C-alpha cells in the first residue's frame, strides 16, 4: 500500500485516474499516462490488481496486489 495525507482525489474523477491520457493538469505539462502505465504493468505483466481509495481532504492510498508466482 502506498498512502499519503494530501488533499485527496474528488469522487467525480477517482474512477478515471487509470484511463490513458487522463490528467487534471494538462497545462502543467502532465501527459496523463503515469497511472495508466502502472495499471498496465500490474495487471498485464504481473497479473495483479491495483486500486485507489481516496477521501477528499484526507488523502489517497493505492493498493497493489500481485501473485507470489507468475503463471
Domain that holds residue 39: 2-65
| CB-count burial class (<10 Å; 0-12, 13-18, 19+) for 17 | buried
The answer to the question of residue 58 being in a domain is yes
Residue 70 lies in a domain: no
Residue pLDDT, tens place only, 4-43: 999 999 999 999 999 999 998 888 888 999 999 999 999 9
Is 24 contained in some domain?
yes
pLDDT of residue 42: 97
Does residue 71 lie in a domain region? no
CATH number at residue 39: 3.30.565.10
CB-count burial class (<10 Å; 0-12, 13-18, 19+) for 64 = middle
Total domains present in the chain? 1
- Render pLDDT for 36-58 as a digit per residue (tens, 0 to 9): 999 999 999 999 999 999 999 99
What SS3 class is residue 70? coil
Entry pTM: 0.85
Q: What is the model's pLDDT at position 27? A: 81
Examine residue 27 and state whether it is found in any structural domain, yes or no: yes
Amino acid at each position: 500500500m502506498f498512502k499519503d495525507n494530501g488533499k485527496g482525489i474528488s469522487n467525480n474523477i477517482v474512477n478515471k485516474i487509470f484511463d490513458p491520457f487522463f490528467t487534471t493538469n494538462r497545462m502543467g505539462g502532465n501527459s496523463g499516462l503515469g497511472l495508466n502505465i502502472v495499471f498496465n504493468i500490474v495487471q498485464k505483466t504481473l497479473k495483479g490488481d491495483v486500486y485507489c481509495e481516496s477521501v477528499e481532504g484526507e488523502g489517497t492510498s493505492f493498493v497493489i496486489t500481485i501473485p507470489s508466482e507468475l503463471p
